[in-house]
Amino acid sequence: MFNPLKPSQEINPSILYYGTPVILLSSWNEDGTTNLSPLSSSWALGRSIVLGIGQGGQALANLQERPDCVINVPGPDLWPAVERLAPFTGKEEVPAAKAAAGFTYKKDKFETSNLTPVPSISVQAARIAECPLQIEACVRKITNPSSSDSFAIVETEAIRIHAHPDILLNERHVDPAKWSPLIYNFRHYFGLGEELGKTFRSET
């Protein structure tokens, strides 16, 4: 526990990724193939899942044209696969800003990551077999945040949710003791620690 009496320091951090789950977003390219994009900016409320996606990448270009996608949620063991995808974009003409940051073009992200495609049921983009949670979703709205024009806020609606049987308690509940996400914490990968407790509304 940090000493709460010690005064905080005001900082100007270069990034503000304070620890959110990694997702691998499947979107589909014009030729029907699936592009995979690691993202950490997402949150869920009811059946809505909101994504923060950078302009200039292939994920946003795909979703603007073809609104269906899959939100694949990897566990901590998949961090090397996520990191294999990290330096690549599915955008053939790599935007200058991305090129300057070291990104290069890669068409086949499944081959690059050594992950396995599984056909989806309601959407064209493929799911990732190794991800214990796979959420088929459809884009409902794309807007720009008022603070920046380099990102878009993409609101999606979950259509079908697939879960690996090993993380389930029953048909309606994921077992939190068996499932844990991969966390992106200021550009480092972490798993979750031990359980601390549960909220009064927990059904498990």
**Residue 49 CB, nearest distance to ligand FMN (Å)?**
12
**Residue 116 CB, nearest distance to ligand FMN (Å)?**
18
22 touches ligand FMN (CB under 6 A): yes
Q: Which of 39, 70, 126, 135 binds ligand FMN (CB under 6 A)?
A: 39
Tokens 């949710």 identify what position? 161
> Near ligand FMN by CB under 6 A, which window of 31-39, 123-131, 155-163, 194-202?
31-39
Q: Which of 26, 29, 34, 35 binds ligand FMN (CB under 6 A)?
A: 35
Q: Collapsing DSSP states into helix, strand and coil, what is residue 125?
A: coil
Q: Collapsing DSSP states into helix, strand and coil, what is residue 83?
A: helix
CA pair distance 19, 24, nearest whole angstrom: 16
Three-class DSSP labels, 93-114: CCCHHHHHCCCEECCCHHHHHC
Sequence-distant (6+) residues with CB within 8 A of 66 are 27, 28, 124
CB neighbourhood size of 5 (10 A): 5
Q: Are 146 and 152 in contact (CB under 8 A)?
A: no
**Residue at shortest CB range from ligand FMN:** 57
**Residue 126 CB, nearest distance to ligand FMN (Å)?**
14
CB neighbourhood size of 135 (10 A): 23
134 touches ligand FMN (CB under 6 A): no
113 touches ligand FMN (CB under 6 A): no
Tokens 């063991």 identify what position? 77
Q: Which of 26, 29, 58, 113 binds ligand FMN (CB under 6 A)?
A: 58
User: Does an H or E element contain 60, and which?
Assistant: helix 58-65
According to DSSP, the residues that pair with 162 across neighbouring strands are: 134
Q: Which of 33, 41, 48, 112 binds ligand FMN (CB under 6 A)?
A: 41
Count of residues binding ligand FMN (CB under 6 A)? Answer: 20
Under rule CB under 6 A, which residues in 60-89 are in contact with ligand FMN? 82, 86, 89
103 touches ligand FMN (CB under 6 A): yes
User: Does an H or E element contain 5, and which?
Assistant: none
Closest CB to ligand FMN among residues 33, 41? 41
Q: What residues line the site for ligand FMN (CB under 6 A)? A: 22, 35, 37-41, 52-54, 57-59, 82, 86, 89-91, 103, 184
